[in-house]
Amino acid sequence: MTKEEFPGWHGTTIIGVRKGGKVVIAGDGQVSLGQTVIKGTARKVRRLSPGGQDVIAGFAGSTADAFTLLERLEKKLEATPGQLARASVDLAKDWRTDKYLQKLEAMLIVTDGTDLFVITGAGDVLEPEHDIAAIGSGGNFALAAGRAMMETDMDAEDVARKAMAIAADICVYTNGKLTVESIG
């Protein structure tokens, strides 16, 4: 089966919210192949601790590809301790220029509690406006819902959880089984 014929993996929503001195990344647990739910409890948000640093990463896309990127990010963080921005730019640059990495199909949201970035295979390291970012098949739903709640009294985790619940109600590739990690 060629890549074009393969039905494709769908099923992730990841959101990152920075509010009130806290940063939260939340992700759903659904993995789908075509119209079939393969797994409902996948962990797509991970805590990384290279060299004692505390970094949280959430991924959308191919799990194997994302794990490869997370390993590369950890190495970059070990080489540049405490510099998430620099490590992220170095990863994006490698991802864009390395023939092996160019084939990887995933996106990342990463935070160290201060910075919040979206990293893509197109070489982008994006710092989101409005202190909120979302990726994956339900990302736009979660982003819109989250932005609407940013000016309420809700804290970062409540915004992330409610935005994910709204995305799960709308996107058939997103479920309500969340992994939530926070810093701050």
Q: What is the DSSP string of 50-73?
A: GGG--EEEEEEE-HHHHHHHHHHH
Catalytic residue positions, numbered: 12
Q: Where are the beta strands (DSSP E) in 31-178?
A: 31-33, 36-39, 45-48, 55-61, 106-111, 116-119, 125-126, 132-136
Cα 42 from Cα 86, distance rounded (Å): 29
H and E: helices and strands count for the chain: 4, 12
